[in-house]
Amino acid sequence: MDASHFDQLRHHIQQHLIGQHHLVDSMLICLLSNGHMLVEGMPGLAKTTAIKSLSGAIEGDFHRIQFTPDLLPADLIGTDIYHHERGEFEFRQGPLFHNILLADEINRAPPKVQSALLESMGEHQITVGQTTYKLPDLFMVLATQNPVEHEGTYTLPEAQLDRFLLHVHVDYPTREEELAILALAEGEAENKKPVLESPKISQADIFAAREAVNAVYLDEKLKAYIVDLVHATRAPEKFDKDLGRWQRFGASPRATLALTRCARALAWLKGDQYVSPEHIQALAEGVLRHRILLSFEAEAEGINANMFIQRLLSVVAIP
């Protein structure tokens, strides 16, 4: 299995939106790594468009659910329906039983609904009453949230954030990209939208690609480097006194596993035969930013998670 199918998939997604190359690559890495992704950005930056484009090119079921304050856990999981004629209950599956789930504005739902995702994201199963139901082999949650709107929202708990393989920030387009967006919108308004070919990657191809990703060589020294980076988030004062002041809690071992899987996926997508330090460093922010908690002192000094991670990368030695 080579990466040509996924090159076609990348090209297909980028036909539907202008720019956002980092978001597209992150979605492919997440798909290849059998993980879930949290996408954060201002409204109107094509987060939903990118996710729907990905799902449309993959063999499987897609469902979009808009998270709202009145949502109930059963609206995600499903519920038992009593059939009076038969005198028995029948389970009606909820949206979680689809292959690709878009959880739009996930921070608008109350904590009890957010926690309903925990078991599905961590174990690929859900439990209703005393019965456990297995989710599809191909199951990926892609959640979006607005980073600045706080009224009527509920901050995701750290336990759930840790379930996301990647946390991706989507930024504003450049001037040239926005001009291209305007031209694309005008073309669509004049019914000049081009016919887009969908590669339709099968689930068998995805599972074969995941096996190929797992086989990408990762040197023992780089495994130690990944562990050193994650350990440095827990005791950064050993490397830099400012990092020690800025940190409250470090990343869990899930970060080590996630960085390893994602680095292999990135190397495979690029056609490289082995993982290099550049692959690891390119993914450090996406893997670590939602797994570390900064101190109030860091916030007072204007230090964010990305700045903390970049400083960390500069002080942890590459073997």
- Residue 21 CA to residue 289 CA, distance in Å, equals 19
Top-tier CATH class for 216-315: mainly alpha
Nearest CA among 220, 252, 259, 233 for reference residue 315: 233
**First-to-last C-alpha distance (Å) of the chain:** 31
Tell me, rounded to whole angstroms, the distance of Cα 154 from its chain centroid.
19
- Please write the tens of the pLDDT for every residue from 250-303: 999 999 999 999 999 999 999 999 999 999 999 999 999 999 999 999 989 999
Helix (H) or strand (E) holding 77: helix 73-77
The tokens describing 46, both together, are 């094509």
- Residue 259 CA to residue 244 CA, distance in Å, equals 22
Secondary structure letter of residue 135 according to DSSP = P
- Please write the tens of the pLDDT for every residue from 186-205: 776 666 555 455 568 899 99
The tokens describing 13, both together, are 């997604």
- Please write the tens of the pLDDT for every residue from 95-125: 999 999 999 999 888 888 888 888 888 888 8
Q: What is the pLDDT of residue 44?
A: 83
- Please write the tens of the pLDDT for every residue from 49-67: 888 888 888 988 999 999 9
Distances (CA, A) of 217 to 39, 86, 227, 267, 278: 29, 57, 17, 9, 14
- Please write the tens of the pLDDT for every residue from 84-96: 888 888 888 989 9
Q: Is the pLDDT of residue 17 over 70?
A: yes
- What confidence tier does 137 reach under pLDDT thresholds 50, 70, 90? very high
Total residue count of the chain as it appears in this document: 319
Nearest CA among 319, 295, 100 for reference residue 227: 319
Domain boundaries, the chain: 4-189, 216-315
Q: What is the pLDDT of residue 160?
A: 79
- Please write the tens of the pLDDT for every residue from 210-265: 999 999 999 999 999 999 999 999 999 999 899 999 999 999 999 999 999 999 99
- Residue 304 CA to residue 282 CA, distance in Å, equals 17
Top-tier CATH class for 4-189: alpha beta
Alpha helices in 124-252 (DSSP H): 158-161, 175-189, 203-214, 220-234, 241-246
Q: What is the pLDDT of residue 314?
A: 94
- Return the percentage of the chain with pLDDT > 70, whole number: 95
- What confidence tier does 167 reach under pLDDT thresholds 50, 70, 90? very high
- Residue 283 CA to residue 261 CA, distance in Å, equals 10
Q: What is the pLDDT of residue 101?
A: 93
Q: What is the pLDDT of residue 198?
A: 58
Q: What is the pLDDT of residue 196?
A: 53
Which stretch of 170-174, 175-179, 191-195, 305-309 has the lowest confidence by average pLDDT?
191-195
3-state secondary structure 207-236: HHHHHHHHCCECCHHHHHHHHHHHHHHHCH
- Residue 218 CA to residue 266 CA, distance in Å, equals 12
